[in-house]
Each structure stands twice: as structure tokens, then as C-alpha cells.
Amino acid sequence: MALFGKKESEPVVVAGRSLHCEICKHDRFWKQEAQLNTAVATFFNFDWANKTANCYVCDGCGYIHWFLPRK
Ligand SMILES: [Zn+2]
């Protein structure tokens, strides 16, 4: 079954390392992008208002790994 409209989960590399799930150590993820709204950015006093975060949802347990793109 296709989740999130993607065909299949896939391996992810972050900062030059293969990503493994924090919870179940699975190595395949569904990639999603999440808009960071201004309210959240303001709350944390970050300067990435309305940037897009990369979200990798574990294909094994569903845990969501969030990453903010570096400039
Ligand atoms: Zn997992």
C-alpha cells in the first residue's frame, strides 16, 4: 500500500551517514516536506520562518525524523 502518495520507502542519507530509525533501527523512510509556520518560528526565535523541513517517516514503526535544511 502506498503511503503519503509515494511509491515506496527508500534509504536516506543525512550528513553523509545512512539514517537509521531511532526507535526500531529500520533504514527505509517515506520522505515528506513540512512547512514551518511563522508562529512556531517566532516562538523558538529562529530565523527560518516559513522554511521547509525534511521529514522522514520510518517505514518500520512510523517514527518521524525531522531535519531543518542548513543554509
Ligand atoms: Zn522505526
CATH of the domain at 53: 2.20.25
The answer to whether position 41 is within a domain reads yes
The answer to whether position 47 is within a domain reads yes
Distance from residue 46's CA to the centre of ligand 1 (Å)? 28
% of the chain exceeding 70 in pLDDT: 70
Residue 23 clears pLDDT 80, i.e. is over it:
yes
Mean pLDDT, residues 7-30 taken together:
94
Q: What is the pLDDT of residues 27-56, one digit of tens each?
A: 999 998 887 776 666 666 666 566 788 999
Distance from residue 42's CA to the centre of ligand 1 (Å)? 30
The answer to whether position 5 is within a domain reads no
% of the chain exceeding 90 in pLDDT: 48
CA distances (Å), 61 to each of 20, 33, 37, in order?
Answer: 12, 19, 27
Number of structural domains in the chain: 1
Higher pLDDT, 54 or 70: 54
Distance from residue 71's CA to the centre of ligand 1 (Å)? 28
The answer to whether position 34 is within a domain reads yes
The answer to whether position 49 is within a domain reads yes
Domain span holding position 32: 13-67
Distance from residue 67's CA to the centre of ligand 1 (Å)? 16
